[in-house]
Chains A and B, each alone.
Chain A
Amino acid sequence: MRLLISSLFHRSPFEDLQKHADKVKECTRLFREAVVCHIGQECKRFDLLTEQVARLESEADDIKRNIRNHLPRGILMPVDKFEFFDYLREQDKVLDEVEEALFWLSFRPEGIPAELAADIHDLIEAVIPPIEKLPELVTLAREYFKSRSEKQRTRMKSLIRDIRQHEREADHLERELKFKIFTTIKDALVVYHLVRLVEHIGAIADHAQNASDRMRAMIAT
Chain B
Amino acid sequence: MTDTNLLSVANLSVGYSTSQGVVNAVSDVSFDVRRNEVFGIAGESGCGKSTLIRALLRLLSNNGVSTATSITYEGEDINSFSDDKFRDAILWKRISLVPQSAMNSLNPVYRVGDQVIEAIRAHRSVSRSEARERVEFLFDVVGLQPELMRSYPHEFSGGMRQRAMIAMSLALDPGLIIMDEPTTGLDVLVQEQILRRVREIRAEVSSSIILITHDIAVIAEMSDRISIMYGGKIVESATAIDLFESPFHPYTLGLKNAFPSISVMDNELISIPGTPPALIGEESGCLFEPRCPFSDATCAQILPQSHSVGEMHQVSCHRHTDVTELREKASKKSTWHC
A and B are partners in one complex rather than unrelated chains: no
